[in-house]
Chains A and B, each alone.
Chain A
Amino acid sequence: MALIARLVSLAVLLALWQGVSVYADVRTLPAPSAVFAFILREAESGNLLFNVGVTLARVGVSFVIAMSLGVLLGIALGRSKLADRLLDTPLLVVLNTPALVVTVLAYVWLGLTETAAIVAVAINKLPNVAVIMREGARGLDPGLEEMARTYRFDRRTWIAHVLLPQLQPFMVAAARSGISLAWKIVLVVELLGRPNGVGFAINYYFTLFDVTAVIGYSVVFMSVMLAIDALILQPLDAHVRRWR
């Protein structure tokens, strides 16, 4: 039922797009069929796969870095009052710095390199992860803590069976919100200073005013990210909630 509803809304969206494109200028809003034709052409030439692959790799690496550092930072902030007081202000500053500023500064300071691109994305995403994880670490069940102390859980047992299960829902939430944030920022970072990737391609076709290509690339990449969410992150979410 839920799947049918989704498919219906997708079909309506496509029909609407097709309908409007009939009346619009071909150059500003191409028909869906034109976009799909472009996607096929670009796929055949190999450019599509290459650019999407490069961008996915950047999303993946920066996502892993931001998640691991953000989780550790968030747990520290949630567990230690001192850490929270010391780091709350810097965290707020980074949280409220526009992604564009972080990206420009990273390129200026680290050069127009792959490292700079990945650092920029990771720094943009890290504070969000840390803030979500801080909430999780603050809300640990004191009853279970006392139980764990009474039964003398060793550190490994405590981490694996008491701490992490309580943090898992927060981790999945951070991952899901984080991955959509990360790929949007990656495109900006690529547009500003990388010679390949989806962001680069979109910028390239933008200078040619090729709206078909711009929409084509974004449709493909959006689909890939939705697939990652549906095929990896949502099942993961269901898995960590299986005991409820």
Chain B
Amino acid sequence: MPAAAPALLTVRVDRKVYRRARTEPVEAVRGLTFSLQPAEITCLIGPSGAGKTTTLRILLGLDHDFEGAVTPDPNAVGIAMVFQDPRLLPWRTIEQNVRLGLPRERRGRDLDGLFESLALTPWRGRFPGALSLGMQRRVALARALALEPRILVLDEPFVSLDDTAAAGLRGLVVETVARRGTSILMVTHNVAEALEIADRLLLVSARPASLLANVPLDRPRGRRDRAFLEATRADLAARFPGVIAQ
């Protein structure tokens, strides 16, 4: 059982305040604690502008100016990130983009299998500008997976993709968990999507963000039918009307 395994990473943000010259300080996060387990998909759901991105920055070790702790040190765990806008280097080829994400000594490694599994092989020598957004996200995913991370963080990975592209990418993410035992943290405000693939939902309030609920979804991904999805959604909507719409 995933819940019994020791946590890969525990994030505790007691308080995060943005202070800028000449403006009122803004409290982005107040009381948000959660853990990530191996081989589990955790979805962080909350209203837009709720400090989800702030939380991700803290989790990635990019922002140290907060009250709380991330244990162990995120730099030692092996976390890879897929940004919402793919953030590829437009002046480098797809292959170079993936390799540059690796530490220098591992850049020469064999990536044929990775490119093949993401159906990117024919595109290796092309520039990102030649690819659709869905394909660019796929490259961003390849760049993250090449690191063989223990934790994969995805920020709104399926937003503004057509249904086929989104389903394809979703399938790849689920497969990654199954095959490599990666722990996935996905930020989204698409509840339907989260209900389909998550093992656990973290519901976050509007700003300042705090944890409202930690909801495990016990039924395995393959057996979630329409009735289950609708019932779960209705139940959550009744309990957390501010976060989940009916």
Partners in one complex: yes
Give the contact-size bracket for chain B.
Answer: 20 to 34
Question: Would you call B103 an interface residue if the criterion is a C-beta within 8 Å of the partner chain's C-beta atoms?
Answer: yes
- CB of B129 within 8 A of CB of A150, answer no
* Overall SS of chain B's interface: loop
- CB of B129 within 8 A of CB of A244, answer yes
Question: Would you call A44 an interface residue if the criterion is a C-beta within 8 Å of the partner chain's C-beta atoms?
Answer: no
- Contact residues in B for A152 (Cβ distance below 8 Å): 75, 103
- Contact residues in B for A20 (Cβ distance below 8 Å): none
Name which residue of chain A comes closest to B153, CB basis: A150
In A140-157, the 8 Å CB interface with B consists of 143-144, 146-147, 149-154, 157
Question: Would you call B171 an interface residue if the criterion is a C-beta within 8 Å of the partner chain's C-beta atoms?
Answer: no
Cα distance A147–B143 in the bound complex, in angstroms:
11
- CB of A157 within 8 A of CB of B100, answer yes
**How many residues of chain A get a CB closer than 8 Å to chain B's CBs?**
16
- CB of A146 within 8 A of CB of B89, answer no
- CB of B90 within 8 A of CB of A147, answer no
Name which residue of chain A comes closest to B79, CB basis: A150
Question: Would you call A165 an interface residue if the criterion is a C-beta within 8 Å of the partner chain's C-beta atoms?
Answer: yes
Most buried by B among A151, A154, A244: A151
- CB of A147 within 8 A of CB of B83, answer yes
Question: Would you call B62 an interface residue if the criterion is a C-beta within 8 Å of the partner chain's C-beta atoms?
Answer: yes
Known: A162-B89, A165-B91, A243-B127. A150 touches B100 (CB 8 A): no
What is the total of A-B residue contacts with beta carbons within 8 Å? Answer: 43
Cα distance A99–B80 in the bound complex, in angstroms:
54
- CB of A144 within 8 A of CB of B87, answer yes
Known: A161-B100, A243-B127. A150 touches B62 (CB 8 A): yes
- Contact residues in B for A165 (Cβ distance below 8 Å): 89, 91-92
Most buried by B among A150, A157, A162: A150
Question: Would you call B20 an interface residue if the criterion is a C-beta within 8 Å of the partner chain's C-beta atoms?
Answer: no
In B83-106, the 8 Å CB interface with A consists of 83, 85, 87, 89-92, 96, 100-101, 103-104
Q: What are 8 A-B pairs with beta-carbon distances under 8 A? A: A143-B87, A144-B89, A151-B101, A152-B103, A161-B92, A165-B89, A243-B92, A243-B129
The 6 A-B pairs at the shortest CB distance, nearest first, are namely A165-B91, A147-B87, A243-B127, A243-B91, A151-B101, A150-B81
Which A residues contact B (CB, under 8 angstroms)? 143-144, 146-147, 149-154, 157, 161-162, 165, 243-244
Which B residues contact A (CB, under 8 angstroms)? 60, 62, 75, 80-81, 83, 85, 87, 89-92, 96, 100-101, 103-104, 127, 129, 143, 147
